Structure 1
Amino acid sequence: MRELVYTGFVSLDGVVDSPGGGPGEDHRSGGWVFKDIEFLPEAFSLKGEELEDTTALMFGRHSYTAFAPTWRDSDDHADYKDLPKYVVSTTLSDDALVEGWGPTTILRSTDDVIELKKSVGGAIFIHGSAELARRMSDARLIDRYHLLVFPVLLGAGKRLFSEADQDKHALSLRESASYPNGVVKLIYDVDG
């Protein structure tokens, strides 16, 4: 079975929305990753390390429409260009897919994600996509979390985890590191 891995930048209070800022921000702290935290390349090395395991990318509709036009032409994201992409959306149409950014498939339901996980292949990484991450977590479909936790409390924003009353998710720490700028890398496997 293929692994589904969530990777993201998260504030200490669990906010994952648009760390670089941008349209759709519903709070005044947009751009929080790059505004107040000293940039240290080693604190972001996880992103390069992930490329070795990434065989496909998955997005929710909002993240796909934000990332695809930018990442397609970005030298920083060139390694993602030809990877298969999956967009989980009930509303995105085929004619809204971005040309020239590798093969892209629209998945219409959680059941479609379950079937994809049963297919042959390697790890599928979810970038951004807070709403999708919550839905996949609640459905027990995420196998691993790659988090860069930033030393900031935002109070408002899109949350990584649902506040629904549900059964406990146990996690096992696979790897961690801390950096002088206060960023902490946490990689967790989801147990069971």
Structure 2
Amino acid sequence: MARELVWTGFVTVDGVMDSPGGSSEGHPNGGWVMRTPFDEAAFALKGEELGETTALLFGRRSYEAFAPVWRDSEDHAAYRDLPKYVLSSTLDPDALVEGWGPTTLLRSTADVAALRESAGGAIFIHGSGELARRLAAAGLIDRYHLLVFPVLLGSGKRVFASEQSGEQRLVLRESEAYGNGVVKAIYDVAR
């Protein structure tokens, strides 16, 4: 049985995933997660994911943003020793962050497909919108974990392609709404 590839992240109601933590990430209205009233229950999904995560997969830009921060973050300590994979045709092996567990460079979508067919459990993708769109187009994403925030941005990077060839059906696995307007939606990709 293939390992599951799971994309997890924060999105706005209009599907934007761009710069949830701050404008320094690039979007002029970045930081929209921080401007939503905090409700601990709305973020419980992140803790639940830890028990299922056996490896992490990143695109180059997300890896370069997350690795130096998450390596030293107590909030992300459970990820330290997990295997990490980075899909990039340009990242130099010397640029990999030391002290953050084993990291393997993958150079193609075919490499990701081979990883997905290997033994092991779920591989989670955080951020990495371009990677998620690429893998979805190749039929490699198995599940989406979405925390949908009550915000409309209109423009910005999206996890789902704005132009897609054909319909992709999703099956709702779990959902919950929280007092701060955030909605958890977990979808399996229908095959």
User: Is the TM value for this pair above 0.5?
Assistant: yes
Deviations 1:131-190 (CA, angstroms, capped at 9, x unpaired): 101111111110000000000001121111112231211111000000010000000000
What secondary structure sits across from 1:145 in the alignment?
strand
Q: Distance in 1 between matches of 2:30 and 2:127?
A: 14
Query: Displacement of 1:21 after TM fit?
Result: 1.5
What's the counterpart of residue 8 of structure 1? 9
What's the counterpart of residue 135 of structure 2? 136
Q: Distance in 1 between matches of 2:116 and 2:64?
A: 23
Q: Distance in 1 between matches of 2:84 and 2:19?
A: 20
- Whether the 8 Å contact between 2:144 and 2:186 is mirrored in structure 1 is yes
Q: Which runs of 5+ in 2 are unaligned?
A: none
Query: Displacement of 1:24 after TM fit?
Result: 4.4
What's the counterpart of residue 29 of structure 1? 29
Q: Distance in 2 between matches of 1:57 and 1:18?
A: 20
What's the counterpart of residue 154 of structure 1? 153
Q: Distance in 2 between matches of 1:57 and 1:10?
A: 19
Q: Distance in 1 between matches of 2:166 and 2:4?
A: 21
2:100 maps to 1:81: no
- Whether the 8 Å contact between 1:20 and 1:32 is mirrored in structure 2 is yes
Is the alpha carbon distance of 1:22 and 1:74 closer, same or farther for their aligned partners in structure 2, counting shifts above 3 Å?
farther
Q: Distance in 2 between matches of 1:31 and 1:96?
A: 28
Q: Distance in 1 between matches of 2:96 and 2:25?
A: 20
- Whether the 8 Å contact between 1:18 and 1:128 is mirrored in structure 2 is no
TM-score (norm 1): 0.97
- Whether the 8 Å contact between 1:6 and 1:126 is mirrored in structure 2 is yes
Deviations 1:25-48 (CA, angstroms, capped at 9, x unpaired): 0x310111002x100110000000
Amino acid at match of 2:104: T
Query: Displacement of 1:18 after TM fit?
Result: 2.4
Q: Distance in 2 between matches of 1:89 and 1:16?
A: 20
Query: Displacement of 1:23 after TM fit?
Result: 3.6
Q: Which runs of 5+ in 1 are unaligned?
A: none
Q: Distance in 2 between matches of 1:53 and 1:22?
A: 31
Amino acid at match of 1:51: L
